[in-house]
Chains A and B, each alone.
Chain A
């Protein structure tokens, strides 16, 4: 059972480039979310989705887009990368919605030069 799979694990971008962080889960979880983790800031919610076709903003959504066309996939898009987006990104999913246990991917470390 793969759980939550994030790709890539590491990425270096130049300012202004675009990229997509992929997230896939094979547990048939309706709830999925993206967080960024920065030193001294903990985890901050970027976007989340309670099911296919539904997305909503979290605490720090600016500069990021998401879509949820299937239950399994929840990609995070950076349209024009900025150095402030240098961070470790975690995707997570839950069977029980926002009251259930979140299962996390291993993280994607992004550096924007």
Chain B
């Protein structure tokens, strides 16, 4: 079945540092890929998504590119802020009409130091 593997945390960075959180997946066909963020005490929120190969999702300075050849969807941000401290989840679904489950990775906790 489908699965998602993301780098283990916690990841600790200084403010304005460059961020990469790795995510790789296993799936048949062309799944949709997502990054969700969870702030303390809250539910998850969609950060960005990509639904086909080579698509780039972006939001709030974060980016991720759907790489079919490496089955990856790594999350990047050029300059992190203290307010980016949260847990980040990579997720996938589909392909549509073949598998409607939305599967999440284990999450990566990010700490940004001022």
A contact set with B: CB distance below 8 Å: 4, 31, 33, 35, 40-45, 48, 50, 56, 58-59, 90, 92, 94, 97-99, 101-102, 104-107
Cβ of B69 under 8 Å from chain A: no
By beta carbon, the residue of chain A nearest B104 is A43
User: Residues of A contacting B49 with CB < 8 Å?
Assistant: 101
CB of A45 within 8 A of CB of B103, answer yes
Binding site for A on B (CB under 8 A): 32, 36, 42-46, 49, 51, 89, 93-94, 96, 99-107
Q: Can you list 7 pairs linking A and B with CB atoms under 8 Å apart?
A: A43-B44, A50-B100, A94-B102, A98-B32, A98-B100, A102-B46, A107-B43
CB distance from A36 to the nearest CB of B (A): 11
Is B103 a contact of A59 with CB atoms below 8 Å? yes
Interface pair B101/A90, CB less than 8 Å apart: no
Instruction: Given contacts A45-B103, A99-B94, list 14 more A-B pairs with CB under 8 A.
Output: A33-B102, A40-B106, A42-B107, A45-B101, A58-B101, A94-B102, A97-B100, A98-B100, A99-B93, A102-B46, A104-B43, A104-B44, A106-B42, A107-B43
Q: Identify the closest chain A residue to B43 (Cβ).
A: A104
The distance from the CB of B93 to the nearest CB of chain A, in whole angstroms, is 4
A45 to B107, CA, bound (A): 14
Tell me the minimal C-beta distance from A5 to chain B in angstroms.
11
Residues of A within 8 A of B104 (CB): 35, 42-45
Task: State how many angstroms separate the Cβ of B109 from the closest Cβ of chain A.
Answer: 11
Closest 4 CB pairs of A and B: A104-B43, A42-B106, A98-B93, A43-B104
Contact B100 A56 (CB under 8 A): yes
Given A45-B101, A45-B102, residue A97 in contact with residue B96 (CB < 8 A):
yes
Alpha-carbon gap, A31 to B96, bound state (A): 13
- Are B100 and A48 touching (Cβ within 8 A)? yes
